Structures are given as structure tokens and as C-alpha cells.
């Protein structure tokens, strides 16, 4: 077992801005509350999605079985902690760290992880780019158009990530958004906002938590 206990609160390095701010710690409780508040602030999703699906089924463009199989496949994405495994390996293996930043697909292949979408999906040629956080730079990802997300690695995107509020405010006032998540950064940390698209998905590589030197890879996976 590790020499030190896993921290119950983790340093959250996600804030943007150039004004002096104090560094705060983020608990799982406060994060969950913020996420739920963001979801509840959204209006119910319009029924046009259900209407479109019904129309496609009626015209035999797709079958109910195909829809069910596709939904089941999506539900299984990211359920084997693929993202956590990539991060933990990068923390303990410098060579893998460099490979992950240079060629994310090759790094995923080493761990037997499928980084993009199956060939049958229209997004099968989507590129995965890994963005490393450092003491000087922190990366923030958003999809301003819809909800582009590295589904095969992280699974289904959380509801707040897809909300109109997050997609607009992450670009317009990212500092306020992240403060609501209990996250602050020193003013000298540069924050780069990346807009995910149909052609490119992003995965942020966080910094290894202080106090985990000597931890085994399996132990680090549990922190991610």
C-alpha cells in the first residue's frame, strides 16, 4: 500500500484569469453539487430528437434492433477506466508520457485501448489529442457547437458538459464557471481553452498529485 493516504481533496488546477486569486481545494461533494446545479438550470430537452428517431424507424432508415445495439455499444464505452489507465501509465513511465503526447493512438494501442470510434461510425477518423497540464499552463476543453467528447475513452459525457450554459460560459467567462466548481488557479497560470470538434477530441493529462511518489500504477489509477 502507498506510504501516504489518498487525498480526500485534490488540488484543482483549472481556472483561467489574470487577476490574483487564492488557491482552493475541491471536494467531490462540492463538485457534484455544482454539476447537478448546472444540469437543473437547463430547460428540458426538446422532443425533436424523439420525433426524428420515430421518423427514421417509420421509414426503415434504421431498425429498432440497430438503435438498441448502437445504444448498448455507447453505454459500454469508457467503462474499463481507459482514461484513468492512460493517465496513470503516463505518470509512471516517462517514455509512455512522451508517446501519449506525440501519438495518442499509438499510446492507446500499447494498452489495448481503442481511442476513437469503430469504422462503422461516421466519426471513425476523429483524432485524439492529449493536452498536458503543467505548472505554467492549464487546459480547459469545451465543445461550443454541440457535445464532442472522447466517448470511447471517457464514456458518455456528463450532462453539464452538453448544457448550453457550459458551452457558452466556458468561453465567455471560464473563470466564473470554474469558480462555481470550486476551482481556482494562481494568476500566473496560463489557461488554454480548446474547442473540441468532429475532427478532433481532446484528453487533458493532469499533473501527478504531490505525495504520490513511489505509488504503483494500479494505485494511481484509483485517483483519476
Q: Answer whether 15's CB lies under 8 Å from 26's CB.
A: no
DSSP-assigned letter for residue 127: E
| Coil, strand or helix at 204 | strand
146 as an active site residue: the answer is yes
- Strands 25-26 and 10-11, sheet pairing: antiparallel
Give the three-state DSSP class for 221.
helix
Catalytic residue among 148, 163, 184, 196: 148
Point out the catalytic residue in the list 30, 147, 159, 165: 147
Residue with cell 499533473: 207
Is-catalytic flag, 147?
yes
Instruction: Name the active-site residue from 108, 143, 163, 196.
Output: 143
- The number of angstroms, rounded, from the C-alpha of 14 to the middle of its chain's C-alpha atoms is 13
Active-site choice (27, 55, 146, 168)? 146
200 included as an active-site residue: no
Told to judge if 143 belongs to the known catalytic residues of this protein, a careful annotator would answer: yes
- Total residues belonging to the chain: 224
Please choose, from the candidates 166, 179, 203, 3, the residue with its C-alpha nearest in 3D space to the C-alpha of residue 90: 203
Helix (H, G, I), strand (E, B) or coil at 201: strand
The residues assigned a catalytic role are: 143, 146-148
Amino acid at each position: 500500500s502507498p506510504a501516504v493516504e489518498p487525498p480526500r481533496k485534490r488540488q484543482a488546477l483549472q481556472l483561467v484569469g489574470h487577476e490574483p486569486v487564492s488557491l482552493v481545494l475541491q471536494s467531490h461533494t462540492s463538485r457534484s453539487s455544482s454539476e447537478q446545479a448546472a444540469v437543473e438550470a437547463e430547460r428540458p430537452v426538446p422532443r425533436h430528437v424523439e420525433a426524428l428517431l420515430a421518423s427514421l424507424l417509420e421509414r426503415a432508415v434504421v431498425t429498432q434492433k440497430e438503435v438498441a445495439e448502437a445504444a448498448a455499444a455507447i453505454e459500454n464505452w469508457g467503462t474499463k477506466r481507459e482514461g484513468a489507465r492512460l493517465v496513470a501509465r503516463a505518470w509512471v513511465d516517462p517514455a509512455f508520457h512522451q508517446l501519449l503526447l506525440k501519438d495518442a493512438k499509438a499510446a492507446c494501442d500499447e494498452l489495448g485501448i481503442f481511442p476513437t470510434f469503430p469504422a462503422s461510425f461516421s466519426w471513425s477518423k476523429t483524432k485524439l489529442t492529449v493536452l498536458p497540464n503543467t505548472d505554467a499552463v492549464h487546459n480547459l476543453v469545451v465543445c461550443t457547437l454541440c457535445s464532442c467528447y472522447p466517448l470511447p475513452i471517457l464514456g458518455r459525457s456528463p450532462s453539464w458538459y452538453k448544457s448550453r450554459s457550459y458551452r457558452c460560459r466556458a468561453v465567455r467567462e471560464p473563470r466564473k464557471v470554474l469558480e462555481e466548481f470550486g476551482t481556482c488557479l494562481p494568476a500566473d497560470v496560463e489557461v488554454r481553452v480548446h474547442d473540441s470538434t468532429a475532427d478532433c477530441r481532446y484528453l487533458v493529462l493532469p499533473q501527478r498529485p504531490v505525495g504520490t511518489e513511489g505509488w504503483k500504477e494500479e494505485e494511481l489509477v484509483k485517483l483519476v
